[in-house]
Structure 1
Amino acid sequence: MDRDRMAAGSGRAGLARLAALALAALALLPLVGKSGIWDPYELDRADLARRIAIHVFGARGLDLADASGQLPTLTDLGMGELGFTSMALGFRVFGLHDWAGRLPLALWGLAGALVLYEFLARLVDRRAGLYGVAVLVTMPLYVMQARTLLGDIVTMAALTMAFCGLIGALLEGGRGAQRGARLASAAWFAVGILGVVAGYLSRGLLIGVAVPALGAGLTWVLLRTSGAWPEPEGRGPTLGDLVGAAALVLGVAATAQGALVLASSSAGEPLPRALGVALLKKPPVESTFDLTLRQLGHALFPWSAFLPFAVGRLFRAPAADRAGEGVAPRLDREAGVRIALIVTSALAYGAFALLAPHAGALPFSGPALLAAIAALAIRDLERGAPSSRALAVGCAVLAFVLYRDLVTSPDRALSVFSVDKPVFPKSFEGEAASAMRFVLLAFAGLVSLTWFEEQPRDLDRSFGAWARRLLDEVHAGAAELARIWNGNLLFLLIVIEAALVGVGAMLFVGKRIGWGTVARMPNHLAAYGMNAWWALPLLLAASPVLLLVARDAFRHAVARASVPRAIGTPLAGLVAGFALSFWYYPALAAQLSPKEVFASYESLRKPGEPLATLGVRSRTAAYYQGGEVTSFTDVLQAFDWLTAAGSSVDGTAVPDAPAARRWLVVKSDDLPRLNSLFRKRYQRNLPVLDGRSSQILLASNELGGRPNESWLGRVVLDEPAAPENPLDAMFEDQLEVLGWELTDDDGQKVSSVVPQKSYHLRTYFRVHRPVTGNWKMFVHIDGFQRRYNGDHPVIEGRYPLSLWQPGDVVVDDHELQLEPNFTPGDYTLYFGLFAGETRFQVTRGPEHEDRVRGGVIRVR
């Protein structure tokens, strides 16, 4: 019977281990080759790894013309060499491909996840191990570092191994002199030493050695002094004592030596191996002790909304599980795990806060520690720890705050990479906001439902019973509302409702009899006032009912699936984390990398059609084209190459046209000038065959029958313009005004506007002579003693007036939104160009004070 029980337990352990492996592999491995190399951040590191592969592994086939081939120093790397050596090994085995460099890093991430599982499964239980892996591989910081050529996933995996190994050896060694305990302690100690060495070779003494070693040493001291350490069977110290003392000595020595090296080092000097981080000559102003907290808030979203509460829950005594024999020793070890996680997480934060003023933002190396903390909080709830409405509401509020940060400042999502001055692609902001909204709703909703209450034992067995109970709860809630403040709260709500009814009636009557003050109110504000008396009470009454329905639906889903209610939290992380790792970040990477552009070139080109790059380093092509291509840094040189002398452009005979089709990968910053040169010669926009990214595009000298995907096609028109409101005006003898029109956000033309709603004013110009001067545009909407003032750079500064060529028809698209004090009526539109206090002179057409009088804009 015991043998059967052991076999069954071994089988379940094998299945749990396989599930952890499958989950980690699914999250980390499939998309290592999906996104291309990010120039310059990944490209620089890949090039350093390529040079290591040549000199260390003898990969002479990786030499590139006109590229440095010397063995890089630690100063060149800016950190320890282990991550770069791992990438170099991938290049040596598989060749010079982006995925070949990423695969070893992803395997490091996989190893870290599996070590975390084994640690939690042995010292807590298997479910805690599975939850830990689920949290870790849905943290964007960990996943994206494993998928990119930045190298810090090695540091994260190394810290995981060092922490789990040393703490595992400490706690297993404290169990006594049993042979099994000694073997387990020795195995964990070997893993810990491997992690310490890997940490030292990746990020030096402070991060790689001091944090895990000092964490284990201080944990041992706390356990020893608190009386929680098991009494030794003999007189001598236990194996755990030896591990703890050795870790303490190593940690103190590494901390002292690391602090000394940091104090004696400065930017510009050779990087000491013991330091492991490149020092900045002038760190950014925001590099203060709280930089790491701000980075983690965005880099771990959405888990960062749950973690503060999980840390607090960790201070509770671990709940006993129905594990039968061996529960007490397991609980003793679990208490040690909790202490170790708290201590080591604090030390990791301290190390990064210490380095932030000297090195700026560094990728936090301890996401596995935070994942383990979250896993224990989830496991405690599953084992009977009380639910927490404060956690449910607090997590939702904090998640919303972080969501607003990531939507209003999308570049904060790039904190997972911790690179210097990254640029977030503007064309991706809309999709990014949608993805983040989904992540917020999925994570905050499921976590709140999970933690708000305990799972009830008895559920309604029929729809009728459920409806009656729901009605009773609504009645009880209404009765409780009537008792608050002795009924004064209900009385206040009634008074507010009476006021809303009065306001609605006043507005309704005033609009119909033409009462002056009411008649001048914007229609949309009047509509809000007339409908608030019924809409607001309905919303307040419906919201609790909808929340109760969602709560009951979750209750029934948990009961029907026969799973613990706590599983809703890792499920929330999986849904949100996979949305980020399989949707948000791959789409973002496609905007930042030229890989899709090179793929388009391969699919569209014909044999013999050459490729060059402008603003994109030629070494990038080596990872996609199998070798370097012609590269330009000067726009004029690139234009001369692209338009080499021939006979036709798009089949039309034109002097000095190219003879054969050519292709150019161009950075978006260089496109406007290149387009201007092309229009000057051919009177049409430069053909862009792949314009999906706002950062890197694929241009050619011919369209080849395909549509032009250049965003400049919406700004500089190839077809005749027909604005809704034509004008005949002139700025000196340089710029003619053709007219204007208003559109909504969907691009539909409108004849009137509503205050507080967004519209686009599209103004059409024709260039007669090159425009001199650095002019900006102003828009005035005047009337009823009010003015809308819309000063803005023409075309948002993306296509300067100095690039406009004679004959060009150019459209300025200005987004405007009138303030709520704009009452209904007809307003006059004026616009013009200015530089400082000087206005561009209007020499023809309707004008007032060098402002073109555009006509009437009707406000509703």
Structure 2
Amino acid sequence: MSSVHRGDPHHGAPPAVLEPHAGEAPPHAEAPPRDEGPLRADGAPATERPGDAARSWRGGPARLAALALSALALLPLLGKSGIWDPYELDNADLARRVAIHVFGAQGLDLADAPGALPTLTDLRMGELGFTSMALGFRLFGLHDWAGRLPLALWGLAGALVLHEFLARLVDRKAGVYAVAVLVTMPLYVMQARTMLGDIVTMAALAMAFCGLTGALLEGARRAVAAPAAWLAVAALGLAAGYLSRGLLIGVAVPALGAGLTWIVLRTSGAWPDPERRRITLGDVAGAAALLLGLAAAAKGLLVLAGSSAGAPLPRDLGVALLKKPPVESTFDLTLRQLGHALFPWSAFLPFAIGRLFRAPDPQGDAAVAPGAEREAGVRIALVVTSALAYGAFALLAPHAGALPFSGPALLAAIAALAIRDLERGAPASRALAVGCAVLAFVLYRDFLLSPDRALSVFSVEKPIFPKSFEAEAASAMRLCLLTFAGLVALTWFEEQPRQIDRSLPVWARRLADDYRAGAAALARIWSGNLLFLLIVLEAALVGVAAMLFIGKRIGWAPVARMPNHLAAAFVNAWWALPLLLAAGPALLIAARDVFRFAVARTAVPRALGTLLAGLLAGSLLSFWYYPALAAQLSPKEVFESYESLRKPGEPLATLGIRSRAAAYYQGGDVASFSDAAAAFAWLTASAGGDAAEGDPAPGARRWLVVKADELPRLNSLFRRRHERNLPVLDGRSSQILLASNELGDRPNQSWLAQVVLDEPAAPANPIDAMFEDQLEVLGWELTDDDGRKVSSVIPQKSYHLRTYFRVHHPILGNWKMFVHIDGFQRRYNGDHPVLEGRYPLSLWQPGDVIVDDHEFQLEPNFTPGDYTLYFGFFSGEARFEVTRGPEHENRVRGGIVRVR
């Protein structure tokens, strides 16, 4: 087998890190199980044949494990997350129309909603995903879970086919591992649990790939029954792929993958019995797949070249073309999408692909050869088909933008084989351990700086990430990073040693010996010069600490002007830095040894640490992160709040939310408004007002589901009449809220209540100043991040400047606010939109008390002392004129800001 290198599990592998020290008695150690597989009675590793399952992993338990993993990840609580408007809602509405016309569903008609059978151009892709959702609506009614259930079943089918493929051609453990990886990939899981439709393409590619490659490899052994079954699976996958994403993605990719794999195997000598030159069923399957793939690719490219964005969508294309190509439509668009959509597995996959070319050595057993050859074919097919899938999506990116990648099953199989290889004796890799951790951290920083990257799993246009969810999202991603990167690093950094310390004193002695050996090695580096340099550095730190300590107490001017937090850092650096450098390795060694001990005590293969990392991180994302994100994006929780709070006869309407969303939660249509003034008139209809036919009696309590960007205008109208903020009874989401004309005995959950006050203001530093005759300055105060008032600030620490105003007349002009903190030839300049631009000045009503909250942080060069605060408004080069109060150059002089 020339196409895949069979690596020696011991050649080039790092030696066992832990060996018994001199004078250490053998009874203090025990032999844990090795990673090569089951142990014989004498303790030596038993050889496990590729292609044959270990006896403890027979077909039944392995299938049950794969089914359980898939079902637990894809099926529970499908209706917990509401429908995402507009992306899911649009697809659900199209599927509803398909259910009416294709399946004859009754009772799914909605007033004022299109009812005609949609075309492929309306669907923007093939129809199979929508037909599947439509069948769910036909059987179970118009519910969110009813539309998602058929798609989740497609995802389940794709995972189970992948398991059977690897179980037959590699071994059953590899099949279970692949399922575990697949159902913890956010791209696959979220597509299966939302009504976006592309899970059908992903499952179809898994079926077509497994079917064609299975027929190719098992047909090479001149069997008949197995290739026939695989060909039936392939036919289903190819048909589903064509009916969901056309010829290029749905047919050409899996067919060419199998066909090119056949050519590679035939020309490399890896084909079974190459000397006989007999034509087998595998040859027929490979040649047919190659011809089909070439024909599909040629026809798909011709259709793509002859299609335009304004023309009807051809079925053969299956991809909606954009009128204007996206800016980020280069070849790496798919790579960047996968980096975020497959996190955290995306940090492991580049290294797993490299490991795919180094299979464990079958140790010369002749009986192993047929299974090894089949496994080599699987590896080649995975690499070839993954490359073709990437090429197809890179080709379509300039025309269609980012599409959900259809090959997560291929990538899951690659990751599973890398894990299984380590279990079967492939060498560990410190490069993989460190590289995976670094790449995971880079991706985590992307999520931290641009939280909307998490929405890459959906591949929708211009999604908006809810600002109120950013803090929780950062916490979830941080925990996911630490869990995955930590366990993967522990798994791959070394081979599991045979001898483990059995007692804490023995471990402590070994740790002390390691420290002594490390100190001796440090003393030998650069002939002792490195150690001398560290001693000089420590002496310098002691000297600096003494100078600062004494200088602060005698009032030495250069030291006194140094910021306190910076001085404190230097004073403590002489002992904190050495302690950190000494404790850091000890903590890492302790974590490593705890992992070693856990592997030895549980008698499970060390390689399963990677699988556990994926399961834990995937569970965090699937059952915490994405459901919480969906709650922010969907109106479902708001409708549930309405059901729990309303009384009989109290009507509901929507503003900025399409009324069709209510059909999935309320069972019918509700009034819908696109204009805030009309919604306000309906919401506040008085007892003497005119009521439309069918409306409840005027003066009754009414409810309104409001899109967040409509709330400021609606609140301004409400304040103009009632001089208080619009009552918001459910403000958990930053995107969709539940408002009413009466607050009742519940607190107002509107975020505007924090910046437009209903109660009198009492700022810590009152000021009497006026901007023309429109805006009065009431005062200001400083708070920390926890909202506590402070009297002084420290450089490089975050604070909030809260400035209070009272509106006297409507504000003319489009002003921005500036903040200057001046003194000692230094200035902090804080230009910013008032109220972050979320409540424009044009909406401020006379009598409103407004609080602008500006977060700021002084630079390190701000030395201790008293600085002067100035603030005001500007538009271009002009400033809002200060007509009363302390001012300088049309800046209100606020007073002293003390820096320490």
1:60 counterpart SS class:
coil
| CA shift for structure 1 position 487 | 2.2
Q: Greater shift after overlay, 767-776 or 232-241?
A: 232-241
**What residue number does 1:310 align with?**
352
CA distance in 2, matches of 1:284, 1:577: 31
| CA shift for structure 1 position 231 | 2.1
| CA shift for structure 1 position 8 | 11
Do residues 241 (structure 1) and 283 (structure 2) align?
A: yes
- Normalising by structure 1, report the TM-score: 0.96
Contact 2:774 2:811 in 1 (8 A): yes
Distance 1:790 1:551, change over 3 A: same
Out of 355, 358, 367, the position equivalent to 2:408 is 367
Out of 255, 259, 266, the position equivalent to 2:297 is 255
**What residue number does 2:818 align with?**
778
| Consecutive unaligned residues in structure 1, runs of 5 or more | 1-5, 649-656
Do residues 272 (structure 1) and 318 (structure 2) align?
A: no
Aligned residues: 842
The one-letter amino acid paired with 2:323 is K
Do residues 20 (structure 1) and 75 (structure 2) align?
A: no
Out of 98, 103, 109, the position equivalent to 2:149 is 103
Out of 43, 66, 89, the position equivalent to 1:43 is 89
- For residues 520-559 of structure 1, the C-alpha deviation after alignment (integer angstroms, 9 at most, x for no partner) is 1111011111111111111111111100000000001111
CA distance in 1, matches of 2:228, 2:121: 36
**What residue number does 1:856 align with?**
896
CA distance in 2, matches of 1:858, 1:149: 56
| CA shift for structure 1 position 126 | 0.8
Do residues 464 (structure 1) and 505 (structure 2) align?
A: yes
Contact 2:359 2:421 in 1 (8 A): no
Distance 1:539 1:235, change over 3 A: closer
Do residues 599 (structure 1) and 599 (structure 2) align?
A: no
| CA shift for structure 1 position 232 | 7.0
Distance 1:501 1:318, change over 3 A: same
Do residues 579 (structure 1) and 612 (structure 2) align?
A: no
1:564 counterpart SS class:
coil
| CA shift for structure 1 position 638 | 0.2
User: Aligned ranges for residues 195-214 of structure 1 at < 5 Å?
Assistant: 195-214=237-256
2:666 counterpart SS class:
coil
**What residue number does 1:663 align with?**
703
Out of 432, 442, 446, the position equivalent to 2:487 is 446
1:829 counterpart SS class:
strand
User: Aligned ranges for residues 2-81 of structure 1 at < 5 Å?
Assistant: 12-81=58-127
CA distance in 2, matches of 1:11, 1:393: 32
The runs of 4+ residues in structure 1 deviating greater than 6 Å are 232-235
**What residue number does 2:13 align with?**
none
1:737 counterpart SS class:
strand
CA distance in 2, matches of 1:319, 1:665: 64
The one-letter amino acid paired with 1:26 is L
The one-letter amino acid paired with 1:192 is A
CA distance in 2, matches of 1:732, 1:512: 49
| CA shift for structure 1 position 489 | 2.1
Distance 1:34 1:325, change over 3 A: farther
Q: Greater shift after overlay, 282-291 or 512-521?
A: 512-521
Out of 697, 712, 715, the position equivalent to 2:737 is 697
**What residue number does 2:753 align with?**
713
**What residue number does 2:374 align with?**
333
| CA shift for structure 1 position 806 | 0.8
CA distance in 2, matches of 1:12, 1:274: 42
Distance 1:317 1:9, change over 3 A: closer
The one-letter amino acid paired with 1:378 is I
Out of 807, 810, 826, the position equivalent to 2:866 is 826
- Normalising by structure 2, report the TM-score: 0.92
The one-letter amino acid paired with 1:418 is S
1:631 counterpart SS class:
strand
CA distance in 2, matches of 1:20, 1:325: 31
Contact 1:320 1:383 in 2 (8 A): no
1:443 counterpart SS class:
helix
Contact 2:864 2:898 in 1 (8 A): yes
**What residue number does 1:431 align with?**
472
**What residue number does 2:785 align with?**
745
**What residue number does 1:722 align with?**
762
**What residue number does 1:762 align with?**
802
The one-letter amino acid paired with 1:190 is A
Do residues 125 (structure 1) and 171 (structure 2) align?
A: yes
CA distance in 1, matches of 2:367, 2:87: 51
2:224 counterpart SS class:
helix
Contact 1:318 1:335 in 2 (8 A): no
User: Aligned ranges for residues 593-672 of structure 1 at < 5 Å?
Assistant: 593-646=634-687, 659-672=699-712
Distance 1:658 1:811, change over 3 A: farther
CA distance in 2, matches of 1:9, 1:503: 67
| CA shift for structure 1 position 233 | 9.7
Distance 1:227 1:679, change over 3 A: same
CA distance in 2, matches of 1:493, 1:396: 28
CA distance in 2, matches of 1:803, 1:395: 51
**What residue number does 2:18 align with?**
none
CA distance in 1, matches of 2:67, 2:179: 9
The one-letter amino acid paired with 2:761 is A
Contact 1:318 1:334 in 2 (8 A): no
Do residues 527 (structure 1) and 527 (structure 2) align?
A: no
The one-letter amino acid paired with 2:442 is V
| CA shift for structure 1 position 493 | 1.8
| CA shift for structure 1 position 326 | 5.1
CA distance in 2, matches of 1:283, 1:476: 61
Contact 1:609 1:662 in 2 (8 A): yes
| CA shift for structure 1 position 236 | 4.2
- For residues 184-234 of structure 1, the C-alpha deviation after alignment (integer angstroms, 9 at most, x for no partner) is 111011101110110010000110001000000000000000011012797
Contact 1:642 1:658 in 2 (8 A): no
Out of 591, 594, 610, the position equivalent to 1:550 is 591
Contact 2:57 2:173 in 1 (8 A): no
The one-letter amino acid paired with 1:149 is M
Contact 2:433 2:493 in 1 (8 A): yes
CA distance in 1, matches of 2:891, 2:801: 16
Do residues 292 (structure 1) and 338 (structure 2) align?
A: no
CA distance in 1, matches of 2:655, 2:540: 65
CA distance in 2, matches of 1:114, 1:562: 28
Contact 2:53 2:173 in 1 (8 A): no
CA distance in 1, matches of 2:277, 2:553: 98
Contact 2:186 2:457 in 1 (8 A): yes
User: Aligned ranges for residues 495-506 of structure 1 at < 5 Å?
Assistant: 495-506=536-547
Do residues 217 (structure 1) and 270 (structure 2) align?
A: no
**What residue number does 1:561 align with?**
602
Contact 1:678 1:686 in 2 (8 A): yes
CA distance in 1, matches of 2:276, 2:351: 42
- For residues 304-350 of structure 1, the C-alpha deviation after alignment (integer angstroms, 9 at most, x for no partner) is 0000000000011344399x995322111101000000000000000
The one-letter amino acid paired with 2:715 is N
Contact 2:360 2:425 in 1 (8 A): no
The one-letter amino acid paired with 2:837 is G
Q: Which protein, 1 or 2, shows the higher relative CO under an 8 Å CA cutoff with sep ≥ 6?
A: 2
CA distance in 1, matches of 2:493, 2:263: 37
Contact 1:503 1:530 in 2 (8 A): yes
Out of 873, 882, 887, the position equivalent to 1:847 is 887
